[in-house]
Structure 1
Amino acid sequence: MVEFGYTLSSEEHAPTDLVTHAVRAEEVGFDFVSISDHFHPWIRQQGHAPFAWSTLGGVAAATDDVDVGVGVTCPIVRVHPAILAQASATVASMFETSDQQFYFGVGTGENLNEHVLGDHWPPHHVRLDMLEEAIDVIRKLWTGEMVNHHGDHYTVENAKLFTLPEETPPICVSAYGEQTARKAAELGDGFWSVGPQDVVERFEREGGDGPKFSQLTVCYADSEDEAVDIAHEHWPNSLLPGQLATELATPKFFEQACQMVEKADVRETDSIVTDPDPQAHVESVQEFVDAGYDHVYVHQIGPEQEKLFDLYEDEILPKFQ
């Protein structure tokens, strides 16, 4: 059975609006919400980048039933894994009081967000090693024991967490390629991706288990032309090729790269649903289910979220329940 989620797009909305959206997602019948954790938006048109962990406190106070995930945090450069161990333990304990499940998604990050303290941006294989050590640090601290850790990348001295959930949240590791999918199977309690990536098959073949998350990106509007216009204005970054998304350093650089993206590219891509026909959304969700994902969450591009809530409440969620 697939669980449906809604994206709290922190690049596009102010923190109080994100809390309101989480409440509406719960009212509509979504099973979970997922928040992005970035220091910058991809492009300045998106307009926001609130601190995800503060916003999650608001979500915890305002909701009662919906599960919550971070999709995803990079625990290796911008924020030390010991600090994220504390942040995630605190948030998990807040949701636990109302029996809401918290999922901790982690990945190797993007230069856009992680270079801001002036640290060197390592190549991917180094970041993957850092991620492995970071997860080890987090799990050690989640035991509630005093932790001293002197590793290749991180040092922790006399650290002990005093606020802990009764059950630690699943750590779901993000992957987009074969190598990282193998590592996700080794390290994670679940899997996280964007789009119906076939790497989930690698994750399972390598012995990976637990919830499998992926994001469906849509722009629902009154017409496809309007949806294409909105998506091209607010989210052209998803159509950039290759490794640009992980290597470009500033929103300005992304804006320059996005000049390559035409409206025709948005209309023709399979990675953004712009067709207002509800059946197009149903078929896209089914692609994710067929690929092996059991947690599918939908990202509505642009400022208009209520149209998406109405569509999914009336037309989409009932077809999968």
Structure 2
Amino acid sequence: MPTRFGYTLMTEQAGPKELVRYAVGAEEVGFDFEVSSDHYFPWLSAQGHAPYAWSVLGAVAHATERVDLMTYVTCPTIRYHPAIIAQKAATMQLLADGRFTLGLGAGENLNEHVVGEGWPAVADRQAMLAEAIEIIRALHTGDLVDFRGEYFQVDAARIWDLPDTVPIGVAVSGTQGIERFGPHAEHMIAVEPNRDLVDHWNGHADTSTIGVGGRAIAQIPICWDRDRDAAVARAHDQFRWFSGGWDVNADLRTTAGFAAATQYVRPEDVAESIPCGPDLDAIVDAVRPYWEAGFTDVALVQIGGGSQHEFLDATAKPLLDRLRSAASGG
């Protein structure tokens, strides 16, 4: 299975109409798939946006023809009830003519706190996610569903407009997550190029096989710019939160919290973890560990809403050519 390269519709750094235009441009230059974040808040105020991802994805489904689409990722437990996620995902799949994958994860306090239901401990969040997937799968059969769980209740619910299937990808960070969620998803989502995750997933008796139908899907930020100093400054301004790691990022509550937590992160620190500037080979080298670890799909995040047009017009196609050549051993 050749490595596929995707484009991230970063809802935290662009408005809804711009995101649809970027989606069309990304398809035109040859990206294989597109993923969308699903946020109520941006990570940092400097990013400045947070439109409703599902409205954007519906528009993108109509504006594009070829690229696969995916949430990366949606939390189906607090801000959204899993029965509502099941309905939204079914509708998206119909609009996308089978190109949609439902990417799910346990969420971040940043987005889920807004409905006033609190922020559970990590063990509870994972248990809620498992129960939510059970509900979504049941509703996607088309049957009338009544459900009484530890966290959720569903009363006589049915999805009336239903596609043939809605594949699910689930975010995992270790072998325990694979054991718990792998049997209930077609695809694995992870944020680090960890070969052990791929091997453990493939070694499980009840999971799909990555590389043979199943996919391992990752995401990596880049900050292309003709001027490296400008790229470093922009990455520091808008993406220094990335240095916190997911254990920290999942629990911070507001953009002010992320600003405080990252106040001592220097531009040079960001440049060490994110490829910045015009060097396409540096971007290829940053992405390389993912396909070497067995990941089949890697989505790029081009940092900076105002940089997207130039990135797509001037750089994306030659970058994709280099990535595909390198991934295929060329």
Aligned equivalent of 2:155: 157
Helix, strand or coil at the partner of 1:161 = coil
Is the 1:93–1:164 contact (alpha carbons within 8 Å) kept by the matching residues of 2? Answer: yes
Is the 1:224–1:274 contact (alpha carbons within 8 Å) kept by the matching residues of 2? Answer: yes
Aligned equivalent of 1:276: 278
Q: Is the aligned partner of 1:182 residue 2:179?
A: yes
Is the 1:220–1:307 contact (alpha carbons within 8 Å) kept by the matching residues of 2? Answer: no
Helix, strand or coil at the partner of 1:73 = coil
Is the 1:6–1:30 contact (alpha carbons within 8 Å) kept by the matching residues of 2? Answer: yes
Aligned equivalent of 2:198: 200
Superposed, which structure 2 residues align to 1:260-299 within 5 Å?
260-269=264-273, 272-299=274-301
Amino acid at match of 1:135: I
Is the 2:130–2:181 contact (alpha carbons within 8 Å) kept by the matching residues of 1? Answer: no
Following TM superposition, by how much is the alpha carbon of 1:147 offset from its aligned partner in structure 2, in angstroms? 0.7
The superposition leaves residues 171-191 of structure 1 with CA deviations (integer Å, 9 ceiling, x where unpaired) of 100012332233232221111
**Cα 1:190/1:242, change in 2 over 3 Å:** closer
Following TM superposition, by how much is the alpha carbon of 1:238 offset from its aligned partner in structure 2, in angstroms? 0.2
Helix, strand or coil at the partner of 1:10 = coil
Amino acid at match of 2:259: E
Amino acid at match of 2:177: T
Once the two structures are overlaid, the 10-residue window that deviates more, 103-112 or 176-185, is 176-185
Helix, strand or coil at the partner of 2:315 = helix
Following TM superposition, by how much is the alpha carbon of 1:242 offset from its aligned partner in structure 2, in angstroms? 6.2
Question: Take 2:192 and 2:14, find their aligned partners in 1: how far apart are those partners?
Answer: 22
Q: Gapped runs of 5+ residues in structure 1?
A: none
The superposition leaves residues 105-141 of structure 1 with CA deviations (integer Å, 9 ceiling, x where unpaired) of 0010111111111112111111111111100100111
Q: Is the aligned partner of 1:308 residue 2:311?
A: yes
Q: Gapped runs of 5+ residues in structure 2?
A: 209-213, 326-330
Aligned equivalent of 2:103: 105
| Number of residue pairs the alignment of both structures matches | 315
Helix, strand or coil at the partner of 2:73 = strand
**Cα 1:21/1:242, change in 2 over 3 Å:** closer
Aligned equivalent of 1:114: 112
**TM-score normalised according to structure 2 size:** 0.91
Question: Take 2:249 and 2:198, find their aligned partners in 1: how far apart are those partners?
Answer: 21
**Cα 1:257/1:313, change in 2 over 3 Å:** same
The superposition leaves residues 283-311 of structure 1 with CA deviations (integer Å, 9 ceiling, x where unpaired) of 22222111111111100001201333232
- Give the root-mean-square deviation of aligned CA atoms: 1.5
Following TM superposition, by how much is the alpha carbon of 1:319 offset from its aligned partner in structure 2, in angstroms? 4.9
Aligned equivalent of 1:68: 69
Is the 1:101–1:169 contact (alpha carbons within 8 Å) kept by the matching residues of 2? Answer: no
Is the 1:109–1:246 contact (alpha carbons within 8 Å) kept by the matching residues of 2? Answer: yes
Helix, strand or coil at the partner of 1:69 = strand
Q: Identical aligned pairs, as a percentage?
A: 39
Question: Take 1:158 and 1:70, find their aligned partners in 2: how far apart are those partners?
Answer: 27
Q: Is the aligned partner of 1:38 residue 2:42?
A: no
Helix, strand or coil at the partner of 1:298 = strand
Aligned equivalent of 1:95: 96
Once the two structures are overlaid, the 10-residue window that deviates more, 118-127 or 204-213, is 204-213
Question: Take 1:197 and 1:276, find their aligned partners in 2: how far apart are those partners?
Answer: 27
**TM-score normalised according to structure 1 size:** 0.94
Q: Is the aligned partner of 1:82 residue 2:80?
A: no
Superposed, which structure 2 residues align to 1:120-159 within 5 Å?
120-159=118-157
Q: Is the aligned partner of 1:258 residue 2:262?
A: yes
Q: Is the aligned partner of 1:191 residue 2:193?
A: no
